[in-house]
Structure 1
Amino acid sequence: MKVSIEEIIESLVITVSLSEIANNSTIREHMDGIKKKNTKDGYISHSKGTTFIALNIAKEMLLNEEDLKNLYIAAYLHDLGLTKVAFMEYDEATITREHCLEGARLISNIPKIENIAEYVKYHHENYDGTGPFGLVGEQIPLMSQILKISDFIDSNYIECRPEAYKWIMSILTNDIDKYVSSKVGKAVIEVISKKTLWRGLNNSDFMDKWLETNKPIVEESLDTYEFLQTAEVYAEIIDIRSSFTARHSRGISELAYLMAKYKGYDENKSIKLKIAGLLHDIGKLAVPIRYINKNGALTDIEYKLVKTHVFYTDLVLKPIKSIDDIREWAISHHEKLDGTGYSRELNHNELGEEQRLLAICDIYQALAEDRPYRRGLKREKCLEIIGKMVENNKLCPKAFEVLKSVTSNL
């Protein structure tokens, strides 16, 4: 299996957007010690806008292709740490610092792009030393400086608002030395004086075409084991939201792997089923945390909202074209043999063995875990409940036999 780094980047950017939207976040209004006059309503465009600005600055500075590629990846992923911080009740300074730390730590665990972690960690540093980590001047990596100013421009600019343009121009013209070196500042002044930047910020189609033409080539890909390591990052992003599900994705992945090996799958396919377990609930980033942690029964409306997590898991994983089989297994974990599951109401004729195995893993793990409204159940009770579901044609009897055999040794 070869998984494109560029496709993984697109997928991870979606996780940032979902976490902010689910939290009804206004984080970008309170960064850099400035109460911003304007904040974009659509967070999903921020990573792209920051990347667009950063590449314009980098090209003005005549950076080489390797630096352009690293900057391109770092710009898209600079806010990855918000997937964990967006749900915390932090003050402004803590949000700024912690999302930098978390973003760098998550990226450092993704093979082939670990080297950009430092750039992300320091993307809120100010050249005058007033940033969250107190780095001064050339202690701040050049790429971090470019990210800093690009992030600042995109976060504050509102499309077609003359006042936003004037305010940003005033800040950058009068206070640019506070943020970046004179070398970066000179390039910024050149870029903001040209029509290309503002046309792109005002016109998403133009921005898309410009990026398609000017983006660096990212040819790197991950093998099965490297993508397994990356899937652990996805699992950490979702599991951190709730202490009650902090081991859920990993528990399912480990159980799915054992069941796959019991069935006689080869190592590659067994690892792929393990990956599906790690990724199956990533769509819960789009579900408000109050429903996930609710200490009691969900209302019908709340339950419908929770069920949308399958759609969002599909949305997050769809950009990664080489894992269509893994994605299909992951988004089928709530389907039932009799067609009463969700979200596609598949029946026994449409559910393969892998989907059946993962579905039964999910139910067993959920029953065995502590939840806000009950303690985790013992193995015997879990199997009793699942056995009734098998009798009612909800779950696969063959998968149930595998589950019983595998869990007897745990």
Structure 2
Amino acid sequence: MTATSLTRLLSGLQDRLPGLRAVYEDLHAHPELSFHEFRTAGIVADRLRRQGWDVTEGVGGTGVVGVLANGEGPVVLLRADMDGLPVLERTGLPYASRATAVDAEGHEVPVMHACGHDMHVTCLLGATDRLAAARGEWRGTVVAVFQPAEEVGGAPAMIEDGFLERFPRADVCLGQHVAPAPAGFVGTRPGPVMAASDSLLVRLFGRGGHGSAPESTVDPVVMAAALVMRLQTIVSRETGAAQTAVVTVGSLHAGTKENIIPDTAELRINIRSTTPAVRDRVLAAVERIVRAEAAASGAPKDPEITGLNSFPVTVNDGPATDTVMTAIAGALGRERVFTLPQTLTGSEDFGVFGTALGVPSVFWHFGGADPALFRDADPRALLTDGLPATVPANHSPYFAPVPDPTIRIGVTTLLAAAAAWLCPEGPRGTGGTGGTGGTGGTGGTGGPVG
């Protein structure tokens, strides 16, 4: 799409920003757990219908899919996720969440949009509004996917619910995630961009008894404590310095009273890896250590290890990534777009769409933090130097993107990326309307665009 066409596509955005901010604050104040995004889905479906989209609800549980056909041309999939997290918000914002919900285990938990999915929904609704209002500036079909349960694998649920057969087959899949980087900056990379993730539930069995007589018991709390510490050696002693892996015990539950040794202990373990070989090795090491600690403790029963969810490495198509980076750089300025120096250890199930469809996909990160918090820090160095202590990361109870200019940037990046395909001349560098993307003409992938 020409620069003039993109300018026209964006021309009405400024007037929409106050309304989009109201949507964002409302979504932030009313988060919902994975597969329970009923209110959010209702808001999305209503807005899409009023914009003129063909809307399907209940896809993969609570997912919403909007389709807007606008003549011959490529089919572009744009995706946002909708679910919140069981986190108690501590931002102190006037629109902070006070929501609670019952989780899958039957426990009442606080709920917060601690990962920015409320921002993702807002930005995609802003993009769908402009696409519907400015149909004279583009050609093709857009499939807007509002996905449930990204935190626990909602993308596979949508695929299993017949997504491939029910909706136009995309030529390219595009998605984004707000990050704890200065608002106004965008980063991505070709190839592996986010790590694989595997979550496990481990149940350890002991023999309960009185806290005053531990010799007559097999204490699963001590067993669990030893296991937590031993698991740390997988990364520090079994993973090479040039390899990437993370092992986190995010939950440990055992017992009901201080003077009762319980029968069982449960741990929830999360593993991140960037290559299949490292993933296999780490998973095998976790199982070996779990079983060995149980045996060393004299456990009366073998431990149970259950897989909870698993996401593959998120891989960006090289040529399509160049096309997206060029388009976004053209909209924001080349100095605002940079190539990530390494694969992020966070994980996403967005890549499931591109893999299932057999088409290129591109996923990028856009900053949502107040630039004043970074002073003179170079956003390109955040991965190597770490975040300033004053900047909360995703999943923190203090994480909350600043609405201005984050909403404007998020809508702009989606529209600029989609516009690279939605035009008669096709993506830059392809010479047609095919779905494989173009090289984009930005030199290199080892540093900032341009």
Q: Give the TM-score normalised by structure 1.
A: 0.23
Q: Give the TM-score normalised by structure 2.
A: 0.22
Higher helix share: 1
Higher strand share: 2
Name the structure, 1 or 2, with higher relative contact order (CA <8 Å, separation 6+).
Answer: 2
